[in-house]
Amino acid sequence: MERRSMCIVTLITDYGTRDYYVGALKGVILGIAPDVKIVDITHDIEPHNVVHGAFVLRQVWPWYPPRTIHVVVVDPGVGSDRRIIVGQYAGRLVVAPDNGIVTFLHHDLPAEGVYSVEDRRFTLPCVSETFHGRDVMAPVVGHLAAGVAMREFGPEVDAPELLDVEYLPRIEANVIHGSILHVDRFGTLVTNIRREQIEAVVGRGRTPEVLVNDVLLGPIHAAFCDVRPGESLAMIGSSGLLEIAVNQGNAVERFGHSGVISVVVR
């Protein structure tokens, strides 16, 4: 088999770092493809929170070069009949449980192939029912890095599982109604409203204002420092999404995890 040149493998898990789980994943991958470069994106995904894992995967996706293999192990259904899949989007690969992890990728990018992992030649000989990350996903990643094509792992998947989340906001005339996709470690609320959607609704001489559960925050700011410490603000974050924040404070404590975010153009 012809081997690829060194490729990048990234890890996104909810394993944390106090146990041996991450080290075991790396050992299996390197045992099959010793030349790969492994990058730890995060092992602090909220336990069992597939939406969190899906969001982080989507945000890091464009910043790694083509042929990067992203491994996402957030797998509350481990041991069940849910599939393990290999997918390709924009020239990059993902290996993950088929539980909605690819939702945000699948909404934004055309799938270039999604396959179910079923050929036991590419897993470890003994598969634990509680550690598919080590026994199934990690060896699959090693074989991908070593040059095995996606189609070798099993049949093509017509439609991967997708999360039931409001990924796109609802637009009515001069109002965009959105919802919260993610809360970061600073308590900032990241919404599903995109910069380009706001720009499309805003006309010449008009100003967009943001409401959170009918509480008016005012216009969209550029950065935290535009308001005084402790004050709330709306801004476009580095992801290109509208965010609700408190300068040197915590927006989720002030507004909660859910609710309606509205951008009103006056």
pLDDT tens-place string over residues 63-80? 999 999 999 999 999 989
Q: Is residue 56 included in any domain, yes or no?
A: yes
Task: Identify the pLDDT of residue 3.
Answer: 46
pLDDT tens-digit readout, 158-186: 999 999 998 989 998 889 999 999 999 99
pLDDT band, very low/low/confident/very high, at 200 (cuts 50, 70, 90): confident
Is the same domain home to 88 and 184?
Answer: no
Looking at residue 114, which CATH number applies to its domain? Answer: 3.40.50.10790
Same domain, yes or no: 141 and 202: no
Q: Does the residue 158 lie in any domain?
A: no
Residue 53 half-sphere exposure toward CB, CA atoms < 13 A: 31
Domain membership of residue 208 (yes or no) is yes
Statement to judge: residues 37 and 141 lie in one domain: yes
Query: In the predicted model, what is the mean pLDDT of residues 206-233?
Result: 92
Give the angle subtended at the CA of 72 by the CAs of 66 and 108, to the nearest 5°: 55
Instruction: Evaluate if residue 262 carries a pLDDT over 80.
Output: yes
At position 63, the amino acid (one-letter code) is W
Copy the structure tokens of residue 139.
């060896």
Q: Which of 2-11, 145-154, 178-187 has the lowest mean pLDDT?
A: 2-11
Residues 193, 110, single domain; the answer is: no
Let me know whether 184 and 147 are in one domain: no
CA angle 20, 26, 27 (to 5 degrees): 85
> Are 119 and 208 contained in the same domain?
no
Give the domain extent around 211. Answer: 170-265
The answer as to whether 162 is a domain residue is: no
Kindly state whether residues 248 and 210 are assigned to the same domain: yes
Using CA atoms, how far apart are residues 148 and 152, in angstroms rounded to an integer? 7
Picking from 103, 120, 152, the residue at the C-terminal end of a domain is 152
Is pLDDT at 2 greater than 60 in this prediction?
no
One domain for residues 91 and 200:
no
- 3-state DSSP of the chain: CCCCCCCEEEEEECCCCCCCHHHHHHHHHHHHCCCCEEEEEECCCCCCCHHHHHHHHHHHHHHCCCCCEEEEECCCCCCCCCCEEEEEECCEEEEEECCCCCHHHHHHCCEEEEEECCCHHHCCCCCCCCCHHHHHHHHHHHHHHCCCCHHHCCCECCCCCCCCCCCCCEEECCEEEECEEEECCCCCEEEEEEHHHHHHHCCCCCCEEEEECCEEEEEEECCHHHCCCCCEEEEECCCCEEEEEECCCCHHHHHCCCCCEEEEEC
| One domain for residues 17 and 137 | yes
Quick one: pLDDT at residue 172? 87
Residue 225: partners with Cβ closer than 8 Å, 6 or more residues away: 247
Residues 140 and 174 in one domain: no
Among 102, 122, 152, residue at a domain's last position: 152
Pair (51, 98) in one structural domain: yes
Structure tokens at 48: 């069992």
Say whether pLDDT at 82 is over 50: yes
The β-bridge partners of 11 are 40, 71
Residue 90 forms part of a structural domain: yes
Domains contained in the chain, number: 2
The domain that contains 237 carries what CATH number? 2.40.30.90
In a domain, 70, yes or no: yes
Q: What number is the average pLDDT over the span 125-150?
A: 96
Q: Among 152, 178, 209, identify where a domain stops.
A: 152
Tell me, yes or no, whether 129 and 188 share the same domain.
no
Does residue 207 sit within a domain? yes
Residue 74 inside a domain? The answer is: yes
